[in-house]
A and B are shown apart, each in its own frame.
Chain A
Amino acid sequence: MSREMRFTDPGEGIHEAEVVEVLVNAGDSVQEGDSVLAVETDKATTELPAAYGGEIEQLAVAVGDRVEVGDLLLTFAGDSDEAPDESAPAAQRPDPEPEPEPARAEPEQAEPEQATPKQAQSKQGAPEQTEAQQPETRRDDGGDGASHAPKRPHKGPVPAAPSTRRLARELGVALAQVAGSGPGGRVLDADVRGASEASETADTRQAERAEAPGSPERPATTEPEQPQPERGAAKPAPAASAEPLPDFSRWGDVERVELRSVRRATAREMARAWAEIPHVMHHDRADVTALERFRRAHVDEVAAAGGKLTLTVLVLKAAAAALRVMPRFNASLDADGETIVLKHYCHIGVAVATDAGLLVPVVRDVDRKSVRELAVELAELARRARDGELSREEMQGGSFTVTNVGGIGGRLFTPIIRYPEAAILGLARAELAPVVTGDIDAPKIGARLYLPLCFAFDHRLNDGAEAARFVNRIIDSLQDPESLLLSV
């Protein structure tokens, strides 16, 4: 009997991916753990290891295919084996040679054998069984708005306690749309709340009806941490899903392009962040004349060490220093809205524009690295981002973000906070501007270099005054390079 290898969630709430590379052929012999396929999920490419050792019997996917968790990827020849990741208790595994007895009433002089509990004949191998044990996952169909129900192994009412069903009604969550993380796919209160958060701000959600057309979504895993936006697991409600677009072809030629990969992930994340976080924008500018001189003085030295000393690197340091003193900008608001999670680490994401789209690699422990180290690391991360070599891990774990569009242009913009962070610092183009000092009788006209700071913060966590102070701190650091370097 063939052994099946199915696409399983690598553990981060991923539920679909695109096959970008098939590394084996039918007939190849592989060892368990050898890479057999490469799939792209959201923004990063992952290689999938062989679930078994043995001969590859048949490939079920090709490059370009979209697969969802549970889909068959390939089969291995050989005898029926235990699945390597079998986690179900043995009792729930169907017998290898079950007898498909119909469920009928039996005469009660039955000996125990006659009244044997009947096992359904399962045509699928053990991996399918595992899937039934795992929290179910969902297809995501963000683009055209129609969302699909979680794949459940069995039809019938969604397993959920009465209190959970009532909660779902109260929150306007359609149970059929929620993946259950309880045993056998039971939907728990936490699943319902998670789904509700995700769709809470969908414009067209009908709050009262249990059959809400809104599509609450939920990461398939129940990790205690905040879901990271770059995983794509925490999906915003497709607020656009409720109303279909008009038929544009009425007015001229149109072309339809699928929303895929990075673009798609970005669309989801931005919609969610914008819908859920009350943004306030605070704009100011820092006089970086002295800082720029400092930078120029040291740029070659850093280049020799393999790094690029940019204004961004220096801003990272200034931000880290400010975050240490004002930790509520380095925090997240818990899903229940009752707790602020303060982070005692400082990992800053730096937005990088690439051909594939906007990627945000995270520089870890900014507060513990020297300017030189940061310059080297950031340069490397940016290069890897542009070359499509970033791993998913490298895009996770950020507690703050810096985004610099100044290299391209712009005087002022309003960045969107990366859920579930508390703030984001945007940098626009540094420009020389005339400055008049002295007095009316002896005016001195000079030029200073100003860097526009476009700061967005979550007003639930911080107030305007605090934000202003935060930005002032950054400005003070940037205007006084020596203090910047001392404060690190």
Chain B
Amino acid sequence: MVMGDLPVETELLVLGDGPGGYATAFRAADLGLDVTLVSNEARMGGVCLLRGCIPSKALLHLAELAGGAREAADMGLDFGLDAHGPRWDLERVRHWTDGVVERLTDGLAELCERRGIQRIRGRGAFADARRLLLTDSDYSSIQFEQAIIATGSRPVAPPGIAFPAGGRIMDSSGALALADIPERLLVVGGGYVGLELGSVYAAAGSRVSVAEMADQLLPGTDADLVRPLHERLAKLFESIRLETRLESADEQGEQVQVALKGPDGDEQATFDRVLVAIGRRPNSDDLGLDAAGVELDDAGYIRVDAERRTSADNIFAIGDVAGGMQLAHKAMHEGKVAAEVVAGRPAAFDARAVPAVIYTDPQIAWCGLTEREAKAQGVEVAVSRFPWRASGRALTVGAADGLTKLLLEPETGRVLGFGAVGRGAEGLVAEAMLAVEMGAVAEDLALGIHPHPTLSETVGEAAERFLGLPTHLAPDRKRRPA
């Protein structure tokens, strides 16, 4: 009998093994369910591990070191570098990042095995709400009682522009492959993907140009957090073109001809490579969701409730494909919620502060309510800022242009949101997340002793400032101390 004829029956089917998929599979297995994990990839980890978060952060680490080495000369530490900066041996870099990815994906596979989770490779599409048909697989179909869809998202291509594999017009995965360091790189899209990858290439020696349609890099992020980043990137990149869109891009020989339309008119330019990072779309289009009774919203995301249940009672959806913040940790959390619900526990997704971190230099991190959101929702907030030029630690790491801010309920001092820009901002956001989730008030942060000298002090001091009692700043004239 051929293996493909064997019907696979499972209690819980998980479709997709990225951070959402594997987190939900692990939790469900730990809660005693029989879990089958289906993925169309050979290795576990999804985009995040294989072509996203992990490799990009590995490269950004090198970019940080490269940038730091250049700066060090001004501080008296000379690496003996020439004008080109440190030399990037791309083959060894790729080998190292691949090694990091390999280690993690092997680790995930082992965790699957230890938990008795059955892994099946294949492309799935629902035949109905209880059956998934498989192609490119050793199995033909899976019968399931419950299912969790975690198929993630993929980069969006602008109309008329394709991403041929290995071509000079790349999406983020192509850029991470680090085929070469182009002399001139155009990054289309001033979101975090474009800026992070652009920073890597710039650190490696590319002359990088960014084109962003909106009037601000990182559109949607509070302007005061973007400003210091923009200033540094303006020195790192060759140019930043705001309110500019890509009209066309044609690969011609070893170069790419692009047409850009900006506030000053049309422009033709030539680049060695073009990275297009203008957004992602959910992988919900060929899963047979209709047959399963799973509804989508207008943008193609799967509609879910607080338990992450779809319109089909026994099918859940998590992660990028379910909309919301497209972040791995949000997917992981959703995955745990869905697994608990499937296991009969009263779980729900009610996070108040999903943190976000952008790994440029300086970093940007925020969680909870942003100033933009507060304004849009008509929520009255008090904003308390602490500029890093007053932070000892910030000065020792060359991050005097940083900023920490807290958004607080004016009367109770409840912490509603947090934002920071600066080197090391990623290390501050978790405390703020806990403060927002716990319903902490400013005193809770101000009365906690933050270690000195660290950047975390800026959080405590922002809280103290709200209360009228800053330490490393002069007290505001208008506020009376408590």
Interface residues of A (CB under 8 A from B): 89-92, 94-95, 99, 102-108, 110, 112-113, 115-120, 122, 129, 132, 153-157, 159-162, 165-166, 169-170, 172, 182-187, 208, 210
Query: Within 8 Å of chain A (Cβ to Cβ): is B387?
Result: yes
B380 to A103, Cβ gap below 8 A? yes
B437 to A162, Cβ gap below 8 A? yes
Interface residues of B (CB under 8 A from A): 222-224, 227-228, 306, 346-348, 350-352, 371, 374-375, 379-385, 387, 403, 407-414, 416, 437-439, 441-444, 465-470, 473-474, 476-482
A118 vs B441: C-alpha distance in the bound complex, in angstroms? 16
Out of A116, A161, A183, name the residue touching B476 (CB < 8 Å): A116
State the 9 A-B residue pairs at the shortest beta-carbon distance, nearest first.
A159-B439, A184-B412, A91-B482, A120-B410, A169-B346, A105-B224, A161-B438, A91-B467, A117-B384
Also in contact, A120 and B382, with CB within 8 A (given A91-B413, A160-B439): yes
Closest to A210 in B: B348
- Inter-chain contacts of A116 with B (CB < 8 A): 476, 478-479
B411 to A117, Cβ gap below 8 A? no
A89 vs B437: C-alpha distance in the bound complex, in angstroms? 23
Beyond A169-B347, A208-B346, 16 additional contacts (C-beta under 8 Å) are A90-B481, A91-B480, A95-B480, A103-B380, A103-B381, A105-B224, A112-B474, A113-B478, A119-B382, A120-B380, A129-B411, A154-B412, A159-B414, A159-B439, A162-B437, A184-B441
Also in contact, A92 and B411, with CB within 8 A (given A161-B437, A182-B439): yes
CB distance from A115 to the nearest CB of B (A): 4
Also in contact, A115 and B439, with CB within 8 A (given A92-B413, A103-B371, A170-B346): no
A170 vs B375: C-alpha distance in the bound complex, in angstroms? 35
A184 vs B438: C-alpha distance in the bound complex, in angstroms? 12
Main secondary structure of the interface of A (DSSP, over half): loop
A118 vs B407: C-alpha distance in the bound complex, in angstroms? 10
A60 vs B42: C-alpha distance in the bound complex, in angstroms? 74
Closest to A132 in B: B411
Also in contact, A118 and B382, with CB within 8 A (given A91-B468, A169-B346): yes
Also in contact, A108 and B227, with CB within 8 A (given A103-B381, A162-B437): yes
Closest to B375 in A: A103
B224 to A108, Cβ gap below 8 A? yes
Q: List 9 A-B contacts (CB under 8 A).
A: A90-B480, A91-B467, A99-B478, A116-B479, A117-B408, A132-B411, A157-B350, A166-B347, A172-B346
A105 to B465, Cβ gap below 8 A? no
A154 to B438, Cβ gap below 8 A? no
- Inter-chain contacts of B479 with A (CB < 8 A): 91, 95, 116-117
Main secondary structure of the interface of B (DSSP, over half): loop
- Inter-chain contacts of B387 with A (CB < 8 A): 108, 110, 115
Out of B224, B438, B466, name the residue touching A117 (CB < 8 Å): B466
CB distance from A277 to the nearest CB of B (A): 27
- Inter-chain contacts of A154 with B (CB < 8 A): 409, 411-412, 414
Also in contact, A119 and B346, with CB within 8 A (given A91-B481, A103-B374, A108-B403): no
Out of A99, A112, A153, name the residue touching B411 (CB < 8 Å): A153
A184 to B474, Cβ gap below 8 A? no
CB distance from B415 to the nearest CB of A (A): 10
Closest to A162 in B: B437
- Inter-chain contacts of A89 with B (CB < 8 A): 443, 482
A208 vs B438: C-alpha distance in the bound complex, in angstroms? 23
B478 to A104, Cβ gap below 8 A? no
Out of B444, B469, B476, name the residue touching A113 (CB < 8 Å): B476
Candidate in A102, A103, A120 with the most chain B CB atoms within 10 angstroms: A103
A103 vs B376: C-alpha distance in the bound complex, in angstroms? 11
B477 to A113, Cβ gap below 8 A? yes
A119 to B410, Cβ gap below 8 A? yes
CB distance from B352 to the nearest CB of A (A): 6
- Inter-chain contacts of B375 with A (CB < 8 A): 102-104
Also in contact, A156 and B379, with CB within 8 A (given A95-B480, A108-B387, A161-B438): yes
CB distance from A284 to the nearest CB of B (A): 47
CB distance from A271 to the nearest CB of B (A): 26
CB distance from A3 to the nearest CB of B (A): 19
Also in contact, A105 and B222, with CB within 8 A (given A90-B480, A112-B474, A113-B478): yes
A185 to B412, Cβ gap below 8 A? yes
CB distance from B453 to the nearest CB of A (A): 21
A280 vs B407: C-alpha distance in the bound complex, in angstroms? 57
B412 to A132, Cβ gap below 8 A? yes
